[in-house]
Chains A and B, each alone.
Chain A
Amino acid sequence: MTVGWREGRNPSPAFDTQFYLQANPDVVEADLNPLEHFVVTGRSEGRKPLSELPQDIADSPLDDDILRAFFDEKYYREQYAGHIPADQDAFTHFMTVGWHRGYNPSAEFDTQFYLESNPDVGTASLNPLEHYLTSGRAEGRAGLPVLEGLDDIPVLLQDDTLARSMDVVAADFDPEFYRRRNPDIKGSDDDLFRHFMTTGWQEGRDPSSQFDVSYYFWANPDVAEAGINPLLHYRLHAATEIRRSLQPHAKERAVLRHCRAVQDRKPFWQLPEREKAVDEWYLASFLKRDRNNRSQNAGLIVSISHDDYRKVPGGVQNCVRDEAQSFAAQDWTYLHLFPSRAISTLAALHHGEFVASVNGQYVGRVTVDTLLKVLARQHGHYPHRHLIIHHLMGVMPECVPVIAQEMQAEKSIFWLHDFFTICPSYALMRNDIAFCNAPVPTSPACHICAYGEERQTHLPRIKALFEALRPEVIAPSRYTLKFWQKKTDLPVTKASVQEHAFITAKVPFEKRIPDTLKIGFIGTPVFYKGWDVYRELAAQFLGDQRYDFFYLGSTEQDAVNVTSLPATVTQADRDAMQKCIRRNEIDVIVNWSLYPETFCFTAYEAIAAGAFLIAPKGSGNVEDLLNSSKEKIGYVADDDQELKSVFETDRLRSLVEKSRRTTGTLEIRPCTFAYLVPETAQ
């Protein structure tokens, strides 16, 4: 940059210092560094960095045409007569089969020589002619033992041919995407494109949502090793080789990479060891104090679920909280138990410790032995006693019938909040990526599933529990009960449906449908709730004036073309989500569970708030809800493709216009309290 150019030295084979100075006397006169001048202004003014190129090469884009320029069909057919089918294009033959056999494309290029003198090219299975033209020549590699006739070939992919490379992949670069993804890069669309073509791809930046640079290098280690611009490589090779711009099933494979056999997963929480188990007196004193504090004693509820409903947010936890408060308010004692180790399976035999609370007041670690001894002495204190099982995850099921027996439970209620009684994969998601429909446990699918081995021991233990307990089973939806009865033969005393919530005070939704529809996703933004499908949908419609995409929830989401709107549902603000939908005038909610929902609160929230609902086939309670509605409050799409098609065409607008949506009040039933004491619950 200081001395070299004055001595006439070239910075690279792509720039001829002396030629540039001779061709541009104004640069000499101004005493400018020729390379700097070329980069800053010369290039955009159409000045050339090298002496004039042969016309047929200089003007053709970097694609097959350039390679064809160095392919001599007559020579090729003569040399390899009898090896090339007469009806096949000779050039295509060379590009697919010929070079593998060491055939030369012309007398000017020796394939075998090139491969032998450049073993890295052979190892990476690269087409030697193409390697020579794209990078080999720039690196000073020879195409022939004695090279003649190729001296004037431009060094492709260097600055002078950047423009032609850009021509080849121009349609593959999305400046809007690039700008949004790379806020550190400023400039015009062309600047961004240049950035990608020079350094961006080397830094792993993607040129559009349709090309994944990291994936391309992973799937094509030959390209990574050769240091070739992946987008350019893709454009040049995709026609004749199997090269993909995006990883097939990328979302699912990302989940699979982290999917381990369920029995080998570590506990995601456990009560600290230092917290020792309470004794019988301590636990009994909580029950006694609770009785003493009440004027009336309606009875005792022992309730089991998988975690601490007082602290952990979620649908089942809300159900437990609602019923706990209702029971307590009506002078029942509510003893809640959850396992001291949070695992995704049933607890192993002799590992059944619980953590207890009484009417929301924390008691501590309780061994099964202590619990049974205390319960055995309580039945005389309570006029009624019921056992409620909300969930068995982390629980040792063998102790549950003994609890019922020792407390002399009048009723044992078992909630089907999900399908944990059918498989440890409670949502029936095989390998966490696809709904499995609960096949027989000996099926090949169960054999390869991360839950399959555990299911072999899980099912007999569940069955033993049901045989000993014969509970009254409650499903939160018709769909759930029907599916459960189809898939199990567990003995029960009674089976019924009680929905967790219902919509009242419905009034027709009257609002002009805006030109731009507001689309929302509510609920947990995770793979199995369809968050990735929604993200992809939003990214696909980036810049489409017909739609604005939102995420409504308690966290900020970083997704292309999705605006986050804060909404946190708490005990004190149960309507927060509905209010957020109404306040922001969200027109459509995409509710895209990948498994059948047993009862989907978010779907009810969306409908109560007057939003149009789109759900996939197989979404259980949600599909059932939409199909049974006469008001066309939503639409059930067959799959991801149909979802996209509904957005692509104007079908969505038409569906929303035809819908006779209503708004209303979402009334929540206090779960088992409503079941056991229906008259009071009303």
Chain B
Amino acid sequence: MTVYCFTSATYSYLGRVRVLAKTVREHHPDWVFCLCLCDVAPPGFDPEADRDLFDEVVPVTELGIPDLPAWMFRHDIVELSTAVKGKMLCRLLEKPDADSVVYIDPDIALFNPLTHVVELLKDHPVVLTPHQLEPEVHPQGIVDNEIGSLKHGIYNLGFMAIANVPEGRRIARWWRDRLLVYCRDDPENGLFTDQKWCDLIPAFFENPAILRDPGYNVASWNLSHRPIRIDSNGQIFAADAPLRFFHFTKVDTAGEVMLERYGSESIALFELLRWYREAIQQQQPAEVPPRYWYYGTYENGVRISRPERLVYRDRKDLQMAFPDPYKSGPESFQNWCSVHSFEL
């Protein structure tokens, strides 16, 4: 039986995906690694370049989502990359040899094998990792981290593992259905992409596993309780547990500021950051222009704005009138937007 591991990304994150894939290969050489690609290759890029690294690449167009252009258009880059996760999860669970499916965000890297996950999947249909495992003490920690979790979801959906058992498949189908309709970055209305939904899992489904080992899913939002250190044997620790995987949510200055705010006790954290920045830079193909996303623009290359996506999402008449909203030209949704720009 096989563990399928997948991530979901666009070409601008390909460097990160490659780093993730390499670290998954290193620690779980027997896992099958798949990429769900919410993008189309830019000119000059050879998709065959990663044939050895990814066992399977599934473009969003092959997921069998009805009215695909209209559906995709209703999502920005983060929403789309997360909205496909349920579909991809169900697709992999249908593989006859799939024992379990592990989803990992592209901005994650593994440092030790995910042993506990494999063990938990033997007895549980799902494994989730909470953003935080213990209460904050500092007032700012409460605002940033605890209130942050209340707004955006208790469990971090940079990671999820599902066992291919009836309850696991039930969870996957429920999640898939919700994401097809409600994968939105809209915390004011109680939604945050694919993540906030999973707060409901412990209530809706039997026997979920909440992985409480501090070595999993270490990130700025939990570093205050998980100082990073490296011992003389070369092991990396987070709060005295071997570091399993680190979630490099942001690697720019703003990301470093957040890491520093909660994790600056040890210099080892910044060694991780140094390595990751260098690794993704080396792995990101030069053929992919900065901020490239095929579905981020209209046919004529003009960038699609957030208000344009929202008005299309919220108005059924526009969806009916423009079944392919990416088109440019006189009868297009793009043209409608320029005529009705005052409404946006």
Contacts and interface: CB of A to CB of B under 8 A. Distances in A.
A75 interface: no
Contact of B275 (A92, A221, A436, A448): A448
Given A97-B143, A249-B264, A439 B270 contact: no
A349 interface: no
A214 to B, nearest CB: 13
Interface string B319-340: 0000000000000000000000
B300 interface: no
A260 B111 contact: no
B232 A252 contact: no
A448 B267 contact: no
Contacts of A448: 111, 236, 271-272, 274-275
Contacts of A241: 139-140
Contact of B230 (A252, A261, A445): A445
Interface of A: prevailing SS: loop
Interface string A564-608: 000000000000000000000000000000000000000000000
Interface in A409-462: 430-431, 433-434, 436-437, 439-440, 443-450
B67 interface: no
Contact of B267 (A96, A433, A437, A450): A433
A249 B270 contact: yes
B12 interface: no
B234 A256 contact: no
Contacts of B139: 92, 96-97, 240-241
B271 A430 contact: yes
B341 interface: no
B264 A444 contact: no
Contacts of B236: 444-445, 448
B140 A447 contact: no
Nearest to B242: A444
Interface in A202-238: 218-219, 221
A100 interface: yes
**A256, A261, A433, A445 — most chain B CB neighbours (10 Å):** A445
Interface in B119-153: 138-143, 147
A1 interface: no
Contacts of B242: 444
Nearest to A446: B234
Interface string B236-254: 1000001100000000011
Nearest to A261: B278
Nearest to A448: B275
Interface string B255-274: 00100111011010011101
Interface residues of B, number: 34
Given A248-B260, A249-B270, A96 B235 contact: no
A242 B138 contact: yes
Interface in B185-216: none
B140 A242 contact: yes
B140 A439 contact: no
Nearest to A258: B274
B270 A96 contact: no
Nearest to A92: B139
Contacts of A446: 234
B140 A444 contact: no
Contact of A218 (B253, B262, B267, B282): B253
Nearest to A434: B267
B260 A252 contact: no
B234 A440 contact: yes
A218 B256 CA distance: 10
Interface string B71-114: 00000000000000000000000000000000000000001100
A430 B230 contact: yes
Nearest to A256: B274
Contacts of B257: 218-219, 221
A546 interface: no
B233 interface: yes
Given A249-B264, A249-B267, A260-B278, A445 B140 contact: no
A219 B260 CA distance: 9
Contacts of B274: 256, 259, 431, 448, 450
Interface of A: 92, 96-97, 100, 218-219, 221, 240-242, 244, 247-249, 252-253, 256, 259-261, 430-431, 433-434, 436-437, 439-440, 443-450
Interface of B: 26, 111-112, 138-143, 147, 230, 232-236, 242-243, 253-254, 257, 260-262, 264-265, 267, 270-272, 274-275, 278, 282
Given A219-B257, A448-B275, 5 more contacts: A96-B143, A252-B270, A436-B232, A437-B234, A439-B235
21 contacts: A96-B140, A97-B143, A219-B261, A240-B139, A240-B140, A248-B260, A248-B265, A249-B267, A253-B267, A256-B267, A261-B278, A431-B271, A434-B267, A437-B232, A439-B232, A439-B234, A443-B234, A444-B230, A445-B236, A448-B272, A450-B275
Of all A-B residue pairs in the complex, the 4 with the closest CB atoms, nearest first, are: A439-B234, A443-B234, A445-B234, A248-B264
